[in-house]
Amino acid sequence: MMRFLSVLLLLLFTTGAHAHTIGRSSSDWTVADGATKGQWVMASGEWKSLSGGQGADAAALVKSFLYLEADGQACPLTLPVPPRDRDGEMVLTISAPCAADRISFEGLFKAAPTHVHLLRVTRGAGQTEYLLTRAQPDVSLGAEATGGFGPYLHLGIFHILEGFDHLAFLLALMLAVRALRPLIWCITGFTLGHSITLALGALGHVAPNSAVVEPLIAFTIAFTVADWAVARSAAPKRLMTIGLLAVAGLALADQLTAGILPPVVWAGLLLMSTGIWGISLEGEEKAVRILPLVTIGFGLIHGFGFVGVLTDIGLPVESRVLALFGFNLGVEVGQLLFLGAALGAFALLKRFASRLLPVAEPVFAMAILAVGLFWFSERVFFT
């Protein structure tokens, strides 16, 4: 058990810098007048990761990732404009002196197997979109679009299962809410919350600030474990005071250094901590009643985190709502798969090694708390 926890902790810490390891990018191509021109856009961080840092030869790198073909012949690629950083996004302008009929990102998926790419191609009056992954790294441009419900469902599942911070929050929630029925209510609240903000963000009605959202997601993890600790502590008031002082200390440190989180957010976190931990002091019954509502709020924050992936890739113009629905459903499916596995593992542990539970539970809680605080500190103080 201890070994398992150590491995889990190591895994979570080592993936700390990028809690989501899926790379995302999109490209727009126009095939006209015997030439193919495209613009490939990805987060600058993703480009750095793909290019292995500074000094890489962009043209050579693009040629190793991307392959265009016309009538069975390879099209020579050029970058007529040097790659440029546009507000944190790397923009690669590519052209080829042929009317491509096949585009392949096989090289990209070899280098980054979890990368997901949305390809938009304009030929004549029509535009077609394809979602490319390692499973489908290339496309013949006459083929039917693959950017609708199915691929986005797959992307949603993929995203949640690779999103260690969301999984860590679910584990923290499982720790704080032990009974199945309240847990179902909490998960429902979380789902409702993130569905709302995911839809609002993905459809462009609100624009989440990822620099604030990412630390807040980490905060919800540490906070949920702290709530569990306050509810079960022999000296809950003292623990709550320590917790509030810790939050105030972090707020002060942030404001005196990078100032990543706005004061209004810190004020909100202090109020929220006081309120939720205060209710926890009043007994488990009240705490359990309010938690589903709290998880709606946390879901709103995590939903903003999910928006990031769709912002990087974009939604297909023709089927935005369907793709969004697919992605959200994928997130739910992934979430349920993970919860099912975690509950199964817990049931097995309870059945075959129940004597370990009194030790495993606090160790597990401390591990999740440490991971949450680590991610939070990293995203606030070491960005």
Q: Which helix (H) or strand (E) holds 97?
A: none
Q: Which one of the spans 37-45, 149-157, 298-306, 375-383 is the region binding another protein (CB under 8 A)?
A: 298-306
Residue 265 binds another protein, judged by CB under 8 A: yes
Give the residue among 157, 138, 87 at the shortest CA–CA distance from 326. 157
Comparison of 208 and 334: residue with beta carbon closer to another protein: 208
CA distance 156 to 164: 14
Residue 60: CB minimum distance to another protein, A: 11
Residue 194: CB minimum distance to another protein, A: 12
**31 in Cβ contact with 47 (< 8 Å):** no
Give the residue among 38, 111, 36, 9 at the shortest CA–CA distance from 371. 9
**DSSP SS3 for 243:** helix
Chosen residue from 160, 187, 294, 309 binding another protein by CB under 8 A: 294
Chosen residue from 167, 168, 239, 261 binding another protein by CB under 8 A: 261
Comparison of 172 and 269: residue with beta carbon closer to another protein: 269
Residue 383 binds another protein, judged by CB under 8 A: no
Strands 67-70 and 73-74: antiparallel
Chosen residue from 34, 53, 55, 80 binding another protein by CB under 8 A: 80
**36 in Cβ contact with 95 (< 8 Å):** yes
Residue 60 binds another protein, judged by CB under 8 A: no
CA distance 361 to 333: 27
**380 in Cβ contact with 260 (< 8 Å):** yes
Residue 251 binds another protein, judged by CB under 8 A: no
Angle at CA of residue 133, ends 130 and 137, nearest 5°: 80
Comparison of 90 and 161: residue with beta carbon closer to another protein: 90
Residue 142: CB minimum distance to another protein, A: 29
Residue 269 binds another protein, judged by CB under 8 A: yes
Q: Which one of the spans 16-24, 173-181, 228-236, 291-299 is the region binding another protein (CB under 8 A)?
A: 291-299
Residue 170 binds another protein, judged by CB under 8 A: no
Q: Write the secondary structure of 342-382 as one string of H (helix), E (strand) and C (coil).
A: HHHHHHHHHHHCHHHHHHHHHHHHHHHHHHHHHHHHHHHHC
Q: Which one of the spans 28-36, 125-133, 293-301, 313-321 is the region binding another protein (CB under 8 A)?
A: 293-301
Residue 122 binds another protein, judged by CB under 8 A: no
Per-residue DSSP letter, 77:
P
What phi and psi values does residue 194 have, to the nearest 5 degrees? Answer: -75, -25
Comparison of 60 and 337: residue with beta carbon closer to another protein: 60
Residue 140 binds another protein, judged by CB under 8 A: no
Residue 301 binds another protein, judged by CB under 8 A: yes
Interactions with another protein, residue window 304-323 (CB under 8 A):
304
**66 in Cβ contact with 103 (< 8 Å):** yes
Residue 271 binds another protein, judged by CB under 8 A: yes
Give the residue among 302, 293, 310 at the shortest CA–CA distance from 169. 302
**273 in Cβ contact with 219 (< 8 Å):** no
Give the residue among 185, 255, 270, 158 at the shortest CA–CA distance from 219. 270
Which residues form the interface with another protein (CB under 8 A)? 59, 78-80, 82, 197, 206-209, 212-213, 216, 261-262, 264-265, 267-276, 278-279, 282, 286, 290, 293-294, 297-298, 300-301, 304
